[in-house]
Amino acid sequence: MIVDITEKREKGRNKIVSGCLITIILFIIAIPLLIFFSHFRIFYSFGEKEKEIIRDEFNITLDESATPEKMKLSWGHGDHCYELWLKDIDDPEEFMENCYNGSYAVIENKSDLIEFGEESISALYDYNGSLVADSSYIMYTSEYYAGYNPYYYGYVIAFYKDGDSFKAKVVDEDR
């Protein structure tokens, strides 16, 4: 009888050890999978490859009319968030006409961007702490359908007066 209790205890310990090992192995496998399926990149320097990303993802063709300052791309498990900061823009209307390759419209009432339950426009549209969406010069909503991808892409483009030129922040609308 004493031997049976000792054997049962050892079998119980073996099951606990096996369960812990299985949990550790699953955890070790899950972490790389989570990293693989969630990406986050920020760009501060822009060569041809980065300008191609801007053209493909934002549908903006950059020339001398704007200088990219920062680009943030994050995506994971099918969701994405793209943001682009531009500077040295001479004229917002001319920029939209010559550089944006989709349809767009002026946002007449900025309060349309206020999300349910919020009191002001999301800080997501702010260029920085001092150039905020409420004080933007002009804002556009824009859309296009990627030729290689049947998905709809929509962006909000906010322009801010900065000295003699303009700055812009482009944010994707997750629809």
Q: What percent of the chain has pLDDT over 70?
A: 77
Domain spans, the chain: 1-37, 44-173
Is the distance from CB of 82 to CB of 172 less than 8 angstroms?
yes
pLDDT in tens, 43-55: 899 888 988 888 8
* Burial (0-12, 13-18, 19+ Cβ within 10 Å), 142: buried
Is the distance from CB of 24 to CB of 60 less than 8 angstroms?
no
Mean pLDDT of the chain: 80
pLDDT in tens, 59-70: 888 878 889 999
Residue 160: per-residue pLDDT: 93
Given a cut of 50, whether residue 175 has pLDDT beyond it is: no
Is the distance from CB of 39 to CB of 74 less than 8 angstroms?
yes
pTM greater than 0.85 (yes/no): no
Residue 170: per-residue pLDDT: 92
Given a cut of 60, whether residue 143 has pLDDT beyond it is: yes
pLDDT in tens, 80-126: 778 899 999 999 999 999 988 888 889 888 777 776 666 667 777 88
Q: Alpha-carbon distance 34 to 39, whole Å? A: 9
Return the residue matching tokens 């206020």.
Answer: 114
pLDDT in tens, 22-31: 889 988 888 8
Residue 73: per-residue pLDDT: 85
Given a cut of 70, whether residue 174 has pLDDT beyond it is: no
Query: Given its phi and psi angles, is residue 107 left (phi above 0), alpha (psi -120 to 50 degrees) or beta?
Result: beta
